[in-house]
Amino acid sequence: MFYFVPYWYGESKATTFDDTVNQIRMFEAVHENSETIICEYSPQIRCFLHQQNLSLNKYWSVFDMIQNIEDVNNKIVDFNDLSWPIESEFVYTPFRVNVILAGKIFANISFGLESQLSSVSYFDDDQISKTLIFDDRGFLSSIIYFSAGKKTVQEYFDVSGIWQIRVTYLTESEKIVINPMSYHRFKKSTYHSLNDLIQDMINYHFANESDLKHATLIIAANEKYNQLLLNLSYRPSNLVLSFFKNRYEYKKNEQLLIDELSLADIVITDTIGQLEDIKEIVVAKNNSHLVNKLQHITPYDTRFQLGISQQYKELTILLNTQELSKEEIIFVLCTILSCMADNNLIALSIACSEENNAEKIDDYIKQVLVGYYHLDNNVILNDLQMDNTTDENKLGDRDNAGDTQQPVGVSLYKRISMHTFQTENDMIQAFENVRLIIDISHRPNIYTQIAGISAGIPQINLSASPYIINQQNGLIIQDLSELKKAIDYYLIGLSHWNTALVYAVQQMRQYTNGAIVRKWRHILGEENG
């Protein structure tokens, strides 16, 4: 049995680019017996699981147990059914409904991933006074009360609307009081923290499990729950910490990291770079014996979803801007735009990130066009205003990219599109017509590399990785001065591109969900080979 404990920071902020989401998917795909333990208060979790194509029958929620929620007949809650003053005016926006009363905001109504009622926040003299939080199964789950804009109390309810616990937020702590009617379901009548209560609930859950000796608990390593989960009274025989990107900033407290690694049986990292970082800390702290616990397993699996870029006349380059500096982005843009100026068929698709968003990237593009192609910003704006495109990501008609009547800079600008990928499907769709991937970050994006292999797209990297084999399914360049030559290597003629495609198809077998789960079992000592 495999138990997964994700850390999704509230399901609204979670994405498919997450280790636990993909680990669960892979184990479910090969029919491994598994359960997802939801520690966070997540009243919209079922909609999230549904959107991620994860089983709704294989999760256990700590807060469902706290709130005494078992079998629920789902229903839809309409905000119009709530009590509103007769004079209320409802103003609809793309993301919420604002309720206006006497010219002031009376309430904000928010909705979940599938347009179901999520919360209603009430205001008094422009300050929030309380928030009603609804469960996606159709009932009031909790109420948060505020004083002077600060959260003071939160009450959690059962389906009947009877409060089960009351959390009072103090200056530097919290106090949890249990409803006397529910004392029989808890070990204590009061708790000093939610984590103490959560730990009690998980211990109770595991105490009733029959075969913990052959079970594995896979924890998404994080600062909030690591200690709680690593110190359970009842626990599976294997405790695994899964490190992913910068979710756990362990460099802030290296001794705490050492203590947690000592309690874990296996430590999984998403990249070899992260493994080396942790290894360096372990050795420096004179705990070399912990090195044997460190393992690297990719959190993503390949799918046979070859792109069809060879059917398009355009040669689309996908540029990943994650973790790149302004100087690096501008250098790469100069190089790619030079290639685009030489070949009207080359188009550029830019994968934006939180740090390097579309607006910032657009400024960089214009800086290059103004500096190197002597193009005035007004020329770009005037020309674009003449386009009647309705596609928000499309900055021009690529069929007209070679129009000699347009200034070169305008033609280049129109062949650039920008994307922010929120889901796996977003990226898969974008990869369909991509001919070449460029990722020159210090640690190339893992998902991009795995998805690139799945689509059979060659990749240009500045740093070595297990996924890109030089001159097979991509090129590892030594410095950025080699970038133009590397682009030409794949975009002039099809010979090198076809070689990369053939190798990628062979490489897919190494990273299927079955192959990755077998590696998990091998590391856990459950399977040979």
Average pLDDT score over the chain: 87
Amino acid letter, 361: I
- Whether 209 and 121 map to the same domain: the answer is no
221 and 250 housed in the same domain: yes
Residues 64 and 148 in one domain: no
Instruction: Categorize the per-residue pLDDT at 66 as very low, low, confident or very high, splitting at 50, 70 and 90.
Output: very high
Percent of the chain with pLDDT over 90: 59
Lowest-confidence pick of 75-84, 314-323, 427-436, 443-452: 427-436
* 413-430 average pLDDT score: 78
Quick one: which of 481, 446, 442, 449 has its CA closest to 463?
442
Question: What CATH number should be reported for the domain holding residue 65?
Answer: 3.40.50.2000
Question: How many CB atoms are located within 10 Å of the residue 411 CB?
Answer: 22
Q: What is the DSSP letter of 77?
A: P
Which pLDDT belongs to residue 12? 43
DSSP H helix total and E strand total for the chain: 16, 23
Q: What integer pLDDT is reported at residue 406 of this predicted model?
A: 56
With a cut of 70, say whether residue 310 has pLDDT above it: no
Is the residue at 282 inside a domain?
Answer: yes
Q: Report residue 121: phi and psi, to 5°.
A: -105, 130
Kindly tell me the sign of the dihedral angle through the C-alpha atoms of 440, 442, 445, 450.
positive
pLDDT value at residue 227: 93
From residue 386, alpha-carbon distances to 126, 297, 383, 402 in Å are 43, 50, 5, 17
Q: Is residue 179 part of a domain?
A: no
Burial of 419 by CB count in 10 Å (0-12 exposed, 13-18 middle, 19+ buried)?
middle
Domain assignment present for residue 97? The answer is: yes
Maximum distance among all alpha carbons in the chain?
81
Query: What pLDDT was estimated at residue 356?
Result: 79
Report how far residue 523's alpha carbon sits from residue 529's, in angstroms, rounded to the nearest whole number: 10
Single out the residue in 129, 157, 185 at which a domain terminates: 157
248 and 364 part of one domain: no
Rounded-to-integer distance, Cα 193 and Cα 296, Å: 34
Residues 128 and 245 in one domain: no
CA distance 525 to 520: 9
Q: Decide: 69 and 157 in contact? Cβ < 8 Å.
A: no
| Band (393; pLDDT cuts 50, 70, 90) | very low
Q: Give the Cα separation of 290 and 279 in Å (integer).
A: 8
Confidence band, pLDDT 50/70/90 cuts, at residue 381: low
Does 458 share its domain with 357? yes
343 and 475 in a single domain? The answer is: yes
> Do 265 and 123 reside in the same domain of the chain?
no
Position 370 pLDDT exceeds 90: no
DSSP three-state, residue 34 = strand
Q: Compute the distance between CA of residue 220 and CA of residue 268 in angstroms, rounded to an integer.
A: 10
- Residue at token pair 């590696």: 519
- Sequence-separated (6 or more) residues with CB below 8 Å from residue 315: 309, 343, 345, 346, 347, 435, 436, 491
Residues 457 and 500 both lie in one domain: yes
* Residue 385, pLDDT score: 47
The lowest-confidence range among 185-194, 347-356, 478-487 is: 347-356
Residue-wise pLDDT for 16-64, tens only, equals 568 899 999 999 999 999 999 999 999 999 888 888 888 888 899 999 9
Of 58-72, 304-318, 322-336, 360-374, least confident by mean pLDDT is 304-318
Query: Does the residue 520 lie in any domain?
Result: no
Structural domain boundaries enclosing 379: 309-511
Number of domains the chain is built from? 3
**Is position 120 within any domain?**
yes
Q: Which parts of 259-345 are beta strand (E)?
A: 266-269, 294-296, 315-320
Residue 379, pLDDT above cutoff 60: no
Q: Which of 253, 269, 296 finishes a domain?
A: 296
261 shares a domain with 136:
no
For residue 1, give the nearest of 29, 35, 46 by alpha carbon: 35
Gap between the Cα atoms of 331 and 311, Å rounded: 30
Whether 149 and 12 map to the same domain: the answer is no
At 153-174, the pLDDT tens digits run 999 999 999 999 999 998 888 9
Q: Residue with structure tokens 């070399």?
A: 288
Shared domain for 269 and 344, answered yes or no, is: no
Domain assignment of residue 447, yes or no: yes
Rounded Cα distance, 157 and 323, in Å: 43
Q: Helix 483-491 and helix 326-342: axis angle, to 10°?
A: 40
Give the pLDDT confidence score for residue 483 in this predicted structure.
95
Task: Give the phi and the psi of residue 233 in degrees, each rounded to 5.
Answer: -70, -40
Q: What would the DSSP string read from start to end of 53-72?
A: T--TTSEEEHHHHHTT----
Task: Compute the residue count for the chain.
Answer: 529
Q: State how far the Cα of 262 lies from the Cα of 106, in Å rounded to an integer.
A: 52
Would 164 be classed as within a structural domain?
A: no
The predicted pLDDT at position 403 comes to 45
The arithmetic mean of pLDDT across residues 134-150, rounded, is 94
Q: What is the pLDDT of residue 307?
A: 63
Tokens of 522: 């091998």
Q: Is residue 507 part of a domain?
A: yes
pTM of the model: 0.84
Is pLDDT of 303 > 90? no
Taking a C-beta distance cutoff of 8 angstroms, is the pair 418, 383 a contact? no
- The single-letter DSSP state of residue 95 is S
DSSP conformation class of 477: -
